[in-house]
Structure 1
Amino acid sequence: MGKKLYVGNLSFTVSSDRLTEMFSEIGTVDSVNIITDRDTGRSKGFAFVEMSSDSEAQSVIEKLNGMDCEGRAMNISEAKPQEPRSGGGFRRNTSSWGSNRR
């Protein structure tokens, strides 16, 4: 199973193809996921890259961490597991919905 990496401090214009190209020089890239703002679709400046093996992921960290990518020095580290979210997002006050008061 592959190792997921966190890639931070990315230029807002970097593409998943560009990241795939860079990381593929070191090993096999299983997936690239650039995180975008849900409302604007604009990059948030970080991504997750999954490499096919732990050793390839470690090589990527050693060779590319701090490297310039489109004018910014990338921060690359092992991704931490996502913590479970509590509650839920936005809740609308529905107390008056559907009422026929006038």
Structure 2
Amino acid sequence: MSIYVGNLSYEVTEENLNAVFQEYGTVKRVQLPTDRETGRLRGFGFVEMSTEAEEAAAIEALDGAEWMGRDLKVNKAKPRENNRGSFGGGGGDRRGNFRNNRY
């Protein structure tokens, strides 16, 4: 399991985040997703700790804490849902389902 860290500064580095979380235990991995098109950080990240007790301590201490000018949102990461293949989550057919629309 990993920890979701939201509302991060766009200036944060994996090393910065690692240092903050090391105060609560052993950090196994830090991941900062970037935007595919711009390469810019997306403002959130994930931290994996060695034990659930360490994760709980980090979440308790850091959720709502101010860091780098931002109030962090820290909680257990939720599993990623696989929603590939849909555009905008709508039903419809591959042609956009416009054939019945008359203007």
Under TM normalisation by the shorter chain, which class is it?
A: 0.7 to 0.9
- Structure 1 residue 68, shift from structure 2 partner: 1.4
Aligned residues: 87
Please state if 1:47 is matched with 2:45.
yes
Stretches of 4+ aligned residues off by more than 3 angstroms: none
| TM-score relative to the length of structure 1 | 0.80
Residues 20-42 of structure 1 deviation map (CA, whole Å, 9 limit, x = unaligned): 00000110001000111011111
CA distance in 2, matches of 1:40, 1:77: 27
Q: 2:30 aligns with which of 29, 32, 39?
A: 32
5+ residue gaps, structure 2 = 88-103
CA distance in 1, matches of 2:86, 2:41: 23
CA distance in 1, matches of 2:67, 2:37: 26
Per residue, is there more strand in 1 or in 2?
1
- Structure 1 residue 86, shift from structure 2 partner: 3.3
5+ residue gaps, structure 1 = 90-102
Residue of structure 2 in register with 1:100 after alignment = none
